[in-house]
A and B are shown apart, each in its own frame.
Chain A
């Protein structure tokens, strides 16, 4: 009932056109990483990305038709979800993985909440979490970089988790992407290029990525090796999905807090959880889980970091201590 008056969805941009524009800008900024991924892993990567995007579009179209809502597949958000989901997959996954993943991401990650702007969780990560939980084998088998055949290799973080020693891989290789990993996460150079574009044009702000990356770096520096303060923080920053996650997924407007203070809390939370999982958890990488958990906390963060101008009463803790 209240909804009839609500004409905008978060982030309160005036016309649908602008929301679409932002989506497409983010998509464009992700293209370098995709090209790099295809170059490093071959045709499989292209195929996976294609399937991810197409399935997302079809899923959104079908669901919007079924629920008798406006069909908005061209606003770029479904494409972005499909793109991000496939960037988070190994290039050599069976064809049905990106299809199911995208469907799940759009259906459960987005449409059940009412569509664009209303989801609590990052849809691409919801899809990926479902895939990781359901078919772990396929989500953790990575092709060897630059070999274009069926040989597999483990990611640097997986090797670290298994044997506690860092693989003999150079920082340059880590930076350029000559390592095992998901399609869109490996080429840090390409990702940073896109991130720079978004930052300069003002589409994302530095608060979340910086607080996220710095927190993870600090914690892995302090606790990452046998003695204190001797961890290889550069290795950690250049490995796994940290750069992809911090710049392109944690910064999603809809699922992150509204205020700058909230952004910093969000970033620190993500960084903390990522570091804890990498250092002591069972999984080698924790970026996706950490972002989802902080997504869940975002409404709570918003509630407590909103300004007090409305004369709202003091917080619950004060009331209860009476």
Chain B
């Protein structure tokens, strides 16, 4: 039973409902940062780390704080505060341990806070793995795993996109379509191709 569920979460989060190409979460950073592979990879790994950790923390808060105290309406506020705090914390740690990496990330590290993908997967987890204010059995593992998979899906889309855009730098694209418009069109075709995994049943 379990392998099937995990496999389904994986295929769903990485391909069929890819966080960027299908749910449109994290688009701003996607279009802005995916012009080169190096920053794209760095950003993706950072995002994956944050989505995983915030999936864990927000699940715990939802399960052990908001539900017992009957304050699930505070979900949005508490989740975003957790994420903002966590990103701030990560920022401080990186600044201490690896200053060159901190400089490398620049402004994009704090921008992870408002990356829709992070809050999105936290909200998604609480919608998918809690029924009637009770946790689905195994919900914690599912949520964490989904957090990881969303990060993987984000990384996949970013890597593919950045390599494509690097190559397109050498082509003479019609002027009106340069950069943003073409980026969206490429994302559209990628999204169409990922549709091939629809209806996946293991």
Residues of A within 8 A of B (CB): 2-3, 6, 67, 108-109, 111-114, 118, 120-121, 126, 129-130, 133, 273, 276-277, 280-283, 286, 288-290, 292-293, 295-297, 299-300, 302-303, 316, 320
Contact = CB atoms under 8 A, between A and B. Distances in A.
Given A112-B182, A126-B189, 7 more contacts: A108-B188, A113-B168, A118-B173, A130-B192, A289-B195, A299-B163, A303-B37
Interface SS of chain B: helix
Given A112-B182, A114-B173, A118-B172, A282 B201 contact: yes
Given A112-B173, A113-B173, A296 B164 contact: yes
B13 to A, nearest CB: 16
Interface string B167-202: 110111110010000100110111011111111111
B189 A277 contact: no
Nearest to A303: B163
B168 A2 contact: no
Given A289-B193, A292-B193, A320-B42, A300 B159 contact: yes
B169 to A, nearest CB: 8
B189 A320 contact: no
Contacts of A130: 192
Contacts of B192: 126, 129-130, 133, 292
6 contacts: A6-B170, A109-B189, A113-B171, A280-B201, A296-B193, A299-B164
Nearest to B7: A280
Nearest to A291: B193
Interface residues of B, number: 35
B174 A316 contact: no
Contacts of A133: 192, 195
Contacts of B173: 112-114, 118
B160 interface: yes
Contact of B189 (A114, A121, A281): A121
A283 B186 CA distance: 23
B38 interface: yes
Contacts of A316: 37-38, 41
Contacts of B201: 280, 282
Contacts, number: 108
Given A299-B167, A300-B163, A112 B193 contact: no
A281 B200 contact: yes
Contacts of B160: 296-297, 299-300
A3 B83 CA distance: 44
Contact of B196 (A273, A297, A300): A273
B127 interface: no
B167 A120 contact: yes
A295 B185 CA distance: 15
B91 interface: no
B45 interface: yes
A277 B190 contact: no
A120 B167 CA distance: 9
Nearest to A316: B41
Given A112-B182, A296-B160, A118 B168 contact: yes
Given A283-B199, A296-B190, A316-B41, A67 B174 contact: yes
A139 B202 CA distance: 25
Given A118-B172, A133-B195, A316-B41, A282 B189 contact: no
Contacts of B45: 320
Contact of A3 (B172, B196, B200): B172
Contacts of A280: 200-202
A292 B189 contact: yes
Which 10 residue pairs are nearest across A and B when measured between Cβ atoms?
Answer: A282-B199, A289-B196, A292-B193, A299-B163, A118-B171, A300-B163, A3-B172, A299-B167, A114-B171, A129-B192
A292 B45 CA distance: 25
A276 B202 CA distance: 10
Nearest to B185: A112
Contacts of A6: 170, 172
A39 B169 CA distance: 46
Contacts of A296: 160, 164, 189-190, 193
